[in-house]
A and B are shown apart, each in its own frame.
Chain A
Amino acid sequence: MIDSSQKLAQLALGKSRAQSYGLVCAGSDVGAQFYSVLAACNLVVETLDDMSKLVQSVTLKTRLVVLGDQNGQGRIGDICKRLKRLEYSHQLAILVLSNAFSDREFAIRQQQIWGVDLCLPKTTPKDVLIEKVSSALIDHRPISEFGCLPIAIANEIDSVLARIHTGNYYTILGVVPKADEAQIRSAFHQLAQVLHPDRHRARAAQYGRTLRRIADAYKRVSEIHSVLTSTTKRREYDLCLLSATSLRHEPEKLPQPLRSELELCKTRRARVAVVESLIARLTGHWKSAYKSMHTAVSAEPDNFPLRDKAESVKKVYMLCAASHSVSNGNWS
């Protein structure tokens, strides 16, 4: 049995995300009620006097605001008004706890006056409280900038945007590094369905600045798709990843020795072969490294610096092969 307050925290914060700012509680005795989830709050306001501080602490990521009345419901009304003025108020569930709400009719009336989700007596049993809060949360959007979208879509966009900042091209598209072209294209199509600016045109007015972010994300995803569906660029990208230079396709940022070797090539065919060879060397496959260099040289037989390079790769390969036959080890 999961502790109920933990469950509440989970509900409030969304299951998959490790957000630490999902909840704002106000009023000391409300704090007591939610004691075990206080760790998940970014702020607990002891009294409602500090209204500005409370409203300011409600961020884009806040989903639940719990208010407790101590001395005056007029102040709660003011707070609610100010919360409703926030740009992202539509994604906030607001819960007010007061002993005055033992009177159900009064509670319902107050709910309507304040425009809040729930007015409950402080004596509400924890289980009932969780039940009520969780259903109130379902009515609200997730912790998303794209709150005006259906939850599933907003979640998907959120998760792509998160991946774009931290992931590599494969993880951003959500495919394995060995994925074939058909898989890459289909993954791209799936993302295009939600990210393409045309998909958002009809409700563009509701987004404000965030539309720009979706458009930028789409352009990124489209660029990724173009890199991964071009055999040459995809291998260059694999080399970028392998040499830990960059999460993006930026062959110009490869370490100097690798870059200068690529710059030796004058034809596309030689360049592709050298990329293959470098990948093989970085993964310790000297035989195929040597073979690829051979291909590069046959594409540009008069390129002497390239021939020299191929020669030195051959030497290492021979050395490895020799030690393999001596030690009977497991080179491949």
Chain B
Amino acid sequence: MSANELIVGIDLGTTNSCIACVLDGDVHVIPDESNSTLQASVVAFLEDGSVIVGNEAQNEVVVDPVNTVMSAKRLIGRSFTSAAVQRAIQDLPYRVIKGDALQPFIGIRGQRYALPEISGMVLRRMKDIGNRYVGRDITSAVVTVPANFNDTQRQMTKLAGELAGLNVVRVINEPTAAALAYGYGHNVNARVAIYDFGGGTFDLTILDIRGNIFEVLATAGDGHLGGDDFDTRLVKSLAHAFEEQHGVSLEGNKIAYARLNHVAEKTKFELTETDQAVVNVKALSNSPSGEPLDLKFRLDRAGFTTHCQDIAQRTFLVCDEALRAAGLKAADLDQIILVGGSTRVPMVRDMVSKYFGKTPLTDINPDEVVAVGAAIQGAALAEDHFTSSPDQPQPLLLDVAPQSLGLASVDDYYEVLIEKNAQIPCERTQVFTTSKDGQTSVKIRIFQGEQDTVSLNTALGEIELYGLKAAPRGEVQIEVAFEIDANGIVVVKARDLETGLEQATRLRVSAGYDDDELTAMKARYHG
């Protein structure tokens, strides 16, 4: 058993990250030097050129927000022009730059960093924490992503792992990992819903757990909905209160806003414990005459609820969708499991109980449960199933495609090949042919999303079948197999139907990085 390779589990979160592993059959959530099992997903670039990552960097968020990257997960694998990135740019104090292929880059101290580099630095920190604990070099990991992450986001997460010197053996969905942590080894036979309300994303995943089989029935998510929204809302209220108190606007004062963000988060935490919170910020800004001005603000739970209820309410639209996709009603579920820091908010818990008509399970640590599940899956992948002991069979995850995969047909109609919630790995094939005489290449644009209009979906990239035999139109027939693998990542293979030979393809990934950029990234990283 111990001869197996060690595959750790890493929860790469928007706000915090966590690492766990299975040693001799027991799950260990790995603490850092100061005994903390959570690391802030923050990378700070200091003036002297050094970089600090994790909890140590947390302080820099307030001191030097422009040179400190947080919530990078909100940007990874997305197009610069997407609504999510545009919105994030509004909220985030650091600079986000548009790349040639519309990828976002982060501009800090005259240097340009790709998102996988930033996430890579966080993963490297997690790996170091792990190495110290297990006393050897960890080389493989299962990394978790939100269930609704698309192909590009997953690929970029894998790339981040690679940059951190980790072979990302599997990318699994956070809620699925949570289900694994909850049910594995307890002989559960139940239908459960994982209500995953994190910092930047929300998703609901419905699973049927039958002993060691964890079958996802449906998942739905909102990629722009999270606990950060509570903070943003509170920040607005605080800024507004400040303006009312002193008649001074904080508009454009990035440092003041970063401080408010910090305060808002703290207030939110405080209100999970107590009924009332008092905000007292010294010298938040200056009066026109240069005098320092303080902010005083009092907020109780009821006030918080009034401020933020509509944000939490939006999660239930997603729940409706997931239940519909699974063909179930809220009452059919045996158990509701809360995951993600935002589920600590009492208002959220109350609303969840009301919606599902049962009290959610809260006795598992929402911050660590995802990493624990990832570690269990890592151990399952490392073990030779057919020789392992039969009284404790390894878990088997049957997950689903996060979004529909389709292509643009001739008249820009969106043709779905693999439906959302189809079990993965899965494969669908389609035959393509030339539309002009002598045509030697065919281009296929692939998308992910649920909209009927092609352009409203996320463009994954363009596949080019090239070097085709010059022939009258329609004569060359190429069968293209579109696969979504167990990571939720799209793989495309093409075959000439006449010769049966593999057809050459080129895949240009949207919002991806070309070879030169990749080389530069790796050089920066390891240099």
Contact = CB atoms under 8 A, between A and B. Distances in A.
Interface of A: 149-150, 153, 185-186, 189, 192-193, 196-203, 215-216, 218-219, 222-223, 225-226
Contact of A150 (B386, B398, B426, B486): B386
Contacts of B213: 189, 192-193
A304 to B, nearest CB: 27
Contacts of A203: 384, 386
A226 B393 CA distance: 25
A262 to B, nearest CB: 19
B104 to A, nearest CB: 33
B34 interface: no
Given A193-B213, A193-B396, 14 more contacts: A149-B386, A153-B386, A197-B425, A198-B380, A198-B397, A198-B486, A199-B385, A215-B425, A219-B426, A219-B427, A219-B483, A222-B423, A222-B426, A223-B426
B425 A199 contact: no
At the interface, is chain A mostly helix, strand, loop or mixed?
helix
A218 B210 CA distance: 19
Given A149-B386, A225-B423, A199 B396 contact: yes
B381 A198 contact: yes
Contacts of B483: 219
5 contacts: A192-B396, A201-B169, A218-B425, A219-B483, A226-B422
A244 to B, nearest CB: 23
Nearest to A216: B427
B386 A196 contact: no
Given A219-B426, A222-B426, A196 B384 contact: no
A199 B423 CA distance: 16
Interface in B359-415: 380-387, 393, 396-398
Contacts, number: 53
A91 B215 CA distance: 35
A201 to B, nearest CB: 5
A198 B398 CA distance: 10
B425 A202 contact: no
A149 B423 CA distance: 26
Contacts of A196: 396, 398
Given A192-B396, A192-B398, A202 B426 contact: no
B274 interface: no
Given A149-B386, A189-B213, A219-B426, A201 B381 contact: yes
Q: Which residue, of B382, B383, B422, B423, has the highest number of chain A Cβ atoms within 10 A?
A: B423
A297 B382 CA distance: 56
A202 B397 contact: no
Interface residues of B, number: 24
B50 interface: no
B210 A189 contact: yes
A219 B425 CA distance: 6
Q: Closest 5 A-B residue pairs measured CB to CB?
A: A202-B384, A199-B385, A219-B427, A222-B423, A189-B213
A229 to B, nearest CB: 10
A140 B29 CA distance: 43
Contact of B387 (A150, A189, A197, A219): A150
A198 B486 CA distance: 9
Contacts of A149: 386
Nearest to A222: B423
Q: Which residue, of A150, A192, A201, A218, has the highest number of chain B Cβ atoms within 10 A?
A: A201
A202 B382 contact: yes
Contacts of B382: 202
A220 B401 CA distance: 16
A130 to B, nearest CB: 30
A202 B423 contact: no
Interface of B: 4, 169, 210, 213, 215, 380-387, 393, 396-398, 422-423, 425-427, 483, 486
Given A192-B396, A197-B486, A202-B4, A226 B423 contact: yes
A196 B396 CA distance: 8
Contacts of A219: 425-427, 483
A149 B387 CA distance: 9
Nearest to B382: A202
A301 B210 CA distance: 44
Nearest to A186: B210
Contacts of A226: 422-423
A189 B4 CA distance: 26
Q: Which residue, of B169, B213, B382, has the highest number of chain A Cβ atoms within 10 A?
A: B213
Contacts of A223: 426
A209 B22 CA distance: 31
A225 B4 CA distance: 33
Contacts of B423: 222, 225-226
A271 to B, nearest CB: 17
A198 B169 CA distance: 11
Q: Which residue, of B169, B385, B397, has the highest number of chain A Cβ atoms within 10 A?
A: B385
A54 to B, nearest CB: 33
Contacts of A225: 423
A225 B380 CA distance: 24
A95 B213 CA distance: 44
A153 B210 CA distance: 21
B316 to A, nearest CB: 26
A222 B169 CA distance: 22
A65 to B, nearest CB: 27
A215 B210 CA distance: 22
A272 to B, nearest CB: 15
B384 A198 contact: no
B398 A202 contact: no
A198 B380 CA distance: 8
Contacts of B422: 226
Given A192-B213, A219-B426, A222-B423, A202 B396 contact: no
Contacts of B4: 202
Contacts of B396: 192-193, 196, 198-199
A198 B383 CA distance: 10
Nearest to B381: A201
A196 B4 CA distance: 20
B386 A199 contact: yes
Contacts of B426: 219, 222-223
Nearest to A149: B386
B191 to A, nearest CB: 12
B450 to A, nearest CB: 17
Contacts of B215: 185, 189
Contacts of B397: 198
B383 A202 contact: yes
A186 B210 CA distance: 9
Q: Which residue, of A186, A198, A200, A225, has the highest number of chain B Cβ atoms within 10 A?
A: A198
Q: Which residue, of A149, A150, A189, A216, has the highest number of chain B Cβ atoms within 10 A?
A: A189
A149 B384 CA distance: 10
Q: Which residue, of B210, B393, B483, B486, has the highest number of chain A Cβ atoms within 10 A?
A: B486
